[in-house]
Chain A
Amino acid sequence: MTLRFKQNKLPGKRSIYLLKHKSVAIGSTLIVMLAFLAIFAPYLTPYDPIEVDLYNNIQSPSWEHPFGTDNLGRDVLTRVIYATRIDILASIFIVGISMIIGISIGIVSGYYGGVIDKVLVGMMDTFLALPEIILALVLVGALGPGLFNVTLALSLLGWVKYARVSRGLALSIKEKEFIEAMKAVGVNDFYLLTRHIAPNTISPLLTLAALHLGHAILSLAALGFLGLGAQPPMPEWGAMLNEGRIFLRGGWWLSIFPGLMIMITVLAFNFIGDGLRDALDPRMKEVVIK
């Protein structure tokens, strides 16, 4: 026997309402544009992001190279566009993994309570007790530098906020009648947790996820800037800033444009996150502010 209950989704009208929210609309437009850049990167630019062209190194912005060229003669605009792929994909990966880990831990903690809950909450407190970037630095220090390791480290560290919120949600959902009803007819815990409790935590966590996407890009780029993330010649915004830093005096465009792209992307995700928070649940404010 399968029991099916309507899952908590944003109804159609609600999403139109959300898009009318000014900051959500601006943020979404920016993200659509960035996604366009990421997907069609090879068709948008005639240059290669990696191929070295030493005859044209450190040229200031011109019609041919709107963002100039870097110390190895590569077109900065091309590299910035290709980096969109890496940064956005990596941050989506980070947020996805964090959400899966966070929701699993959170709902198990809230649903079962007792000793399990105490242990898991203790774990959350320990992770919250240290700044994320410090833990990320240690993890990357242990794993070694590289885009994959940085992404992995940030994925393993981002779950705590999701766990805290979904634990609270699970605590209230488990008291609802439909859960009681299913327990009464003998539905097992695993089915209950994965099919009914987990889906109900997702929509309240969307705000958190949108803000986390921006935060993840900032952390990723920060580690790239410190030379621990993506390694040359891979085009990644933070790493590009790091490579361009030495040429600040003679070639400001090497570091200014990648930074601008980071800021636009983070701004877009923050707009969406703030808008969602205002529109969906004003009470989330306390949870989200970091």
Chain B
Amino acid sequence: MLEYVAKRTAIAVFVVFATSALTFLLLSLIPGDTAVMIIQRVFVGDVTYNPSRMEIKAAEEMFQLGNPLWMQYLHWLSNALHGDLGVSYISGRGVLGEILVRLPATVELAITATILSLLVAIPLGVISAAKQNSKFDYSSMALATFFISMPNFWLGLILILIFSLHLDLLPVSGYGGIEHLVLPAITLCAGMMSVTLRLTRSSVLEVLRLDYITTAKAKGMDEKRILYRHVLKNAMIPVITIVGLQLGYLLGGTVIVETIFAWPGIGKLLIDSINARDIPMIQGCVVFIAIVFSLVNMLVDLSYYFLDPRIKYDEV
């Protein structure tokens, strides 16, 4: 077990490093003179300002822009390992601080959407499987297919159109009380709900086919008791994986949902930085997302150990 944890941690660390290097390399392709941009935006605050040669040189030295790319990366990396992700070209504030300020909004949205999707998907999935090929099963599968194919930005706009503009029940966008959270959370949860619903159904069906369930039925056990006591526990293992993997979808989804609803989270921060070509901020957001994503994936893998004692890690 310990060996597996060590191996899994090593992989996660490698992935984060690889991502940071790849992002750094890609972002260096962005055209434009970085030194001029820094002077204009961070120091002067005027995009039309024309810096002198001296100023450019000073800025290049300060941010070590004259060095070869690998040295710049190592410089960034050593700073990053000390908790310093650099300074935003736009606001002039620290990248890490900015990300941490935005973090609670994204976490709030993501957790609400996850809970919402599980509350709908798991009961529907279990009932669908228990009543396979019934009308209920068909309609919940149709619902899942429908929402999987629906672009979430379109769903968001439809929800705004109905609930904010026509019925005037909820605010169009912004961050604040619970009424602001409803539409973004529903928009974000729809796709995730469909995937979890399908997986719960197929996973329960798979367990229902196993011999020990037949035995339990032959013993004359109550069907409901079989379902809740014996099927669910085993069927939930793949569901937990998918919920973990869905985090990727969620982080991607927040980019869009936060943009539609002007939700001040990390997704919106990333999009704004891409539009403004704020290189340190893009780099910071991506690395931050990579860390969160790897960490969650690792925890999901490790949680198997407790959920399914049949898995032996020495063989992995």
Using a CB–CB distance below 8 Å, which chain A residues touch chain B? 122, 125-126, 129-134, 137-144, 214, 218, 221-222, 225-228, 238, 241, 245, 248-249, 252, 255-256, 259-260, 262-263, 266-267, 270-271, 274, 285, 289-290
Contact = CB atoms under 8 A, between A and B. Distances in A.
B190 to A, nearest CB: 12
B277 interface: yes
A142 B154 CA distance: 27
Nearest to A249: B165
Contact of B277 (A132, A141, A221, A266): A141
B202 interface: yes
Given A131-B289, A133-B255, A222-B153, A140 B19 contact: no
Contact of A131 (B27, B30, B249): B249
Nearest to B30: A142
Contact of B294 (A129, A221, A222): A129
A175 to B, nearest CB: 22
Contacts of A144: 31
A266 B149 contact: yes
B140 interface: no
Provide the main secondary structure of the chain A interface. helix
Contacts of A140: 274
A289 to B, nearest CB: 6
Interface of B: 11-12, 14-15, 18-19, 23, 26-27, 29-31, 145-146, 148-154, 157-158, 160-161, 165, 195, 198-199, 202, 242, 245, 248-249, 251-252, 255-256, 259-260, 270-271, 274-275, 277, 282, 286, 289-290, 293-294, 297
Contacts, number: 127
B148 A222 contact: no
B154 A263 contact: yes
A134 B251 contact: yes
Contacts of A256: 154, 157-158, 161
Nearest to B271: A226
Contact of B29 (A142, A262, A274): A142
A121 B30 CA distance: 29
A139 B26 contact: yes
30 contacts: A129-B290, A129-B297, A130-B293, A131-B248, A131-B249, A131-B252, A133-B252, A134-B252, A138-B23, A141-B27, A142-B30, A225-B151, A225-B153, A226-B255, A226-B271, A227-B275, A238-B153, A248-B161, A249-B165, A259-B157, A260-B154, A262-B151, A263-B151, A267-B146, A270-B148, A270-B149, A271-B145, A289-B242, A290-B195, A290-B245
